[in-house]
Chains A and B, each alone.
Chain A
Amino acid sequence: MSDALFDQLGGEAAVNAAVDIFYRKVLADDRISRFFDGVDMEKQAAKQKAFLTMAFGGPHNYTGKDMRDGHASLVKDGLNDSHFDAVVENLGATLKELGVADDLIGQVAAVAETTRNDVLGK
């Protein structure tokens, strides 16, 4: 994805604005909150930030392998498409709350979508 999307969203400042809102939505979502039980919140927030940067079309060193390894134990615990959908939904709602235009939200969702198979170990 091009830097154009990242710039249109507002770059790093946009990521910083989104990360708390997004993480709070995810933790408050009964469909997926259990996957975050007992995690180190500070480390998790840093991961959320890296993920958002990537989904916003920003610079990253995304590797499918990291994503697979990172989620493998969650997949064993039942992580599936419905949970992935819930995360993408929270991502969209976060951007909506920040006043981002629908077509840009669509582009972010499309980038997030490219991680689905790696996250779910397919």
Chain B
Amino acid sequence: MPIIEFDENRCDCNPGETLLECLDRYNCPPPSSCQSGLCHTCLMRCVKGTPPESAQNGLKDSLVKQGYFLPCVCYPEGDMKVVMPDDAAAPHTSAKLIEKTILTPAIARLRFAVDEDFSYIPGQYTNIFKSDEVARTYSIASVPVLGDYIEFHIEKISGGIVSEWIFNTLKEGDELQISEALGECFYQAGEEENNLLMIATGSGFAPIYGIVRDALNQGHTGEIHVYQGAGMAEKLYLVDEMKILAEKHENLFYHPCLSRDATEDFESGRANELALTEHADLKNWTVYLCGHPEMVKATQRKAFLAGASMKDIHSDPFEFAKT
């Protein structure tokens, strides 16, 4: 009989019983509604063992890849350890800072060496722990096959305990803890010919820098339009690297945008507004949105109304911690 681990519970799953029914019998069910795999209310994640394929029908590929499944249609075939989808009690890994570069007065680039078994997909995020109690979420900008390190772009937040500590105190050689990589804002296999629209503001460019290089590396053939925006020039970074990349790949179009400063080097205006004006019909496009939460929300809606399908809009709003 498969054993299901969930929180403190070890549950024996009876033959012919769904995982949801099993957890219900042990009085620890997740919220559920349709109980037939349609509404996705009971979505959970499997962190040990493998969910049967039939329990992942209808889920986005990005969720399938990360072990998400629907307990209401899951007939376990072996032992599984399951968690709620937003469970932060995920395993930790130690990471050693091997390179710290101040890219602009507002942005630092950190590169860490991590254990080989730390796996991630470019664009996912992880928590960086300053101490056991204090952590902040940062997106991963690196691509595994391009280097043996994981890279973060840290935006200096005035009064932000973690970002100021990173800028002022953290030094090369220091070790800290990071959580496992999570999130589903990443390049989707099977969309090599789709046109991609990527919009980032501030350090929201970190995941985009990972995703765009991941896409190119995987041989993406459709057009890729990257709009990188900021208010002031000091928050636009890696511009030269992106220009070089765009020169190398004729399907990559790079638009650095400044909304407040006007200069000849950059397009003038908000990245999201320029992007949506220049691409008014997004039918069959895949859209990536990372950065300021208000920008992400508003643009998500506009992109959807411009014809992009909900499942093809991937976003990563950068909420700032209230400290």
Taking Cβ atoms with an 8 Å cutoff, the residues of A that contact B are 12, 15-16, 19-20, 23-24, 27-28, 38, 41-42, 45-46, 49-50, 53, 58-61
Residues of B in contact with A, size category: 10 to 19
B259 CB–A CB distance under 8 Å:
no
Interface string of B292-304 (1 = CB under 8 A from A): 0000010011001
Contact at B33–A50, with CB atoms within 8 Å?
yes
Contact at B310–A58, with CB atoms within 8 Å?
no
Q: Which of A12, A58, A61 contacts B32 (CB 8 A)?
A: A61
Q: Which of B38, B58, B310 contacts A59 (CB 8 A)?
A: B38
Q: How far is it, in angstroms, between the C-alpha of A39 and the C-alpha of B8 when the chains are bound?
A: 34
Contact at B41–A46, with CB atoms within 8 Å?
yes
Q: How far is the CB of B149 from chain A (nearest CB, A)?
A: 31
Q: How far is it, in angstroms, between the C-alpha of A41 and the C-alpha of B301 when the chains are bound?
A: 8
Contact at B58–A12, with CB atoms within 8 Å?
yes
| Residues of B with C-beta under 8 A to A59 | 34-36, 38
| Residues of B with C-beta under 8 A to A38 | 297
Given contact pairs A38-B297, A58-B36, enumerate 16 new A-B contacts (beta carbons under 8 Å). Answer: A16-B58, A20-B309, A24-B304, A24-B305, A27-B305, A41-B301, A41-B304, A42-B310, A46-B41, A49-B40, A50-B38, A50-B39, A53-B39, A59-B34, A60-B38, A61-B33
Contact at A49–B301, with CB atoms within 8 Å?
no
Contact at B304–A27, with CB atoms within 8 Å?
yes
Interface pairs (21), CB distance under 8 Å: A15-B38, A20-B309, A24-B304, A27-B304, A41-B297, A41-B301, A41-B304, A46-B39, A49-B38, A49-B39, A50-B34, A50-B41, A53-B38, A58-B34, A58-B36, A59-B34, A59-B35, A60-B33, A60-B39, A61-B33, A61-B35
At the interface, is chain A mostly helix, strand, loop or mixed?
helix
Contact at A41–B310, with CB atoms within 8 Å?
yes
Taking Cβ atoms with an 8 Å cutoff, the residues of B that contact A are 32-36, 38-41, 58, 297, 300-301, 304-305, 309-310, 313
| Residues of B with C-beta under 8 A to A28 | 305
Known A27-B304, A41-B304, A61-B32; judge A12-B310 contact (CB<8 A): no
| Residues of B with C-beta under 8 A to A58 | 34, 36, 38
| Residues of B with C-beta under 8 A to A19 | 310
* Closest A residue by C-beta to B314: A42
| Residues of A with C-beta under 8 A to B36 | 58-59
* Closest A residue by C-beta to B308: A20
| Residues of B with C-beta under 8 A to A45 | 310
| Residues of A with C-beta under 8 A to B304 | 23-24, 27, 41
| Residues of A with C-beta under 8 A to B301 | 27, 41
* Closest B residue by C-beta to A45: B310
Contact at B34–A60, with CB atoms within 8 Å?
yes
| Residues of A with C-beta under 8 A to B38 | 12, 15, 49-50, 53, 58-60
| Residues of A with C-beta under 8 A to B33 | 50, 60-61
| Residues of B with C-beta under 8 A to A15 | 38
| Residues of B with C-beta under 8 A to A46 | 39-41
| Residues of A with C-beta under 8 A to B40 | 46, 49
Q: How far is the CB of B57 from chain A (nearest CB, A)?
A: 9
* Closest A residue by C-beta to B35: A61
Q: How far is the CB of B98 from chain A (nearest CB, A)?
A: 36
Contact at B58–A20, with CB atoms within 8 Å?
no
Contact at A53–B34, with CB atoms within 8 Å?
yes
| Residues of B with C-beta under 8 A to A27 | 301, 304-305
Q: How far is the CB of B321 from chain A (nearest CB, A)?
A: 19
